[in-house]
């Protein structure tokens, strides 16, 4: 579960945001705070994964809270939820490393989408020691054009190999994939290497008693 601290000067608004968080699978509310000082204290005590931070707080600006967090508790992530629309405020929040910026008022779906994107990023990077370019693009919200299939590969067969990889309960060798797809081992290997190059598949090496290690492939889970 991703633990969230909700920070808003309005007690009722904080409760509403907390309810939104609790309704989103994979998230739980660690606590609520209603001032900058209370937020900093709670973050030190509770060590949440994510802070939903308002900008307009009674004792200090939310950007000031963010700036102090980057020095005192740099590992906590911050998602700004505020009515502040000034471009300078948005720029300062971005420089402070916020994961997203949501302007009030908003629908529950808008917050849910941002939380789900954060969760996917959180889990994707937590489970891997290295990241492919596709992983990095998803983290930063970059939309990249799909790499075209190399000459000699067909879209239909690529979809078949993709489905076999996605549905496999373990990693597959080129020979195993070829048997499932009704392809030659060489053809299956070309499709598997294409998916590895585009960051959609992960290559794992299995070492035997002698000879070169066997290359095995699995689909990258979100």
Residue length, the chain?
A: 222
Q: What is the DSSP letter of 104?
A: S
Quote the pLDDT of residue 141: 63
Sketch out the chain's domains with CATH numbers: 2-127 (3.40.50.2300), 155-219 (1.10.10.10)
Global pTM reads: 0.64
Q: What is the DSSP letter of 210?
A: S
Quote the pLDDT of residue 208: 73
What are the pLDDT digits (tens) for 127-169? 566 666 666 666 666 655 556 788 889 999 999 999 999 999 9
What are the pLDDT digits (tens) for 36-81? 999 999 999 999 999 999 999 999 999 999 999 999 999 999 999 9
Q: How far apart are CA 83 and CA 62, in angstroms?
A: 12
Is 6 within 8 Å of 52 (Cβ atoms)? Answer: yes
Quote the pLDDT of residue 199: 82
């Amino acid at each position: 579960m991703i633990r969230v601290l909700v920070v808003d000067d309005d007690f009722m608004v904080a409760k509403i945001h907390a309810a939104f968080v609790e309704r989103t699978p994979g998230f739980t509310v660690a606590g609520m705070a209603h001032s900058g000082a209370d937020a900093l204290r709670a973050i030190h005590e509770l060590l949440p994964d994510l802070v939903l931070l308002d900008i307009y707080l009674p004792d200090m600006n939310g950007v000031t809270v963010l700036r102090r967090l980057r020095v005192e508790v740099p590992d906590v992530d911050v998602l700004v939820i505020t009515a502040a629309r000034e471009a300078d405020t948005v720029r300062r929040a971005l420089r402070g490393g916020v994961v997203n910026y949501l302007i009030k008022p908003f629908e529950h779906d808008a917050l849910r989408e941002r939380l789900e994107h954060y969760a996917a990023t959180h889990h994707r990077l937590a489970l891997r020691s290295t990241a492919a370019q596709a992983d990095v693009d998803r983290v930063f919200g970059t939309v990249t054009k799909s790499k075209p299939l190399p000459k000699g590969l067909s879209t239909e067969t690529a979809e078949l190999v993709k489905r076999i990889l996605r549905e496999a309960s373990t990693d597959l060798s080129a020979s195993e994939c070829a048997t499932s797809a009704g392809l030659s081992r060489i053809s299956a290997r070309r499709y598997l290497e294409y998916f590895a190059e585009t960051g959609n598949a992960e290559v794992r090496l299995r070492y035997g008693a002698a000879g070169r290690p066997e290359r095995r492939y699995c689909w990258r889970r979100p």
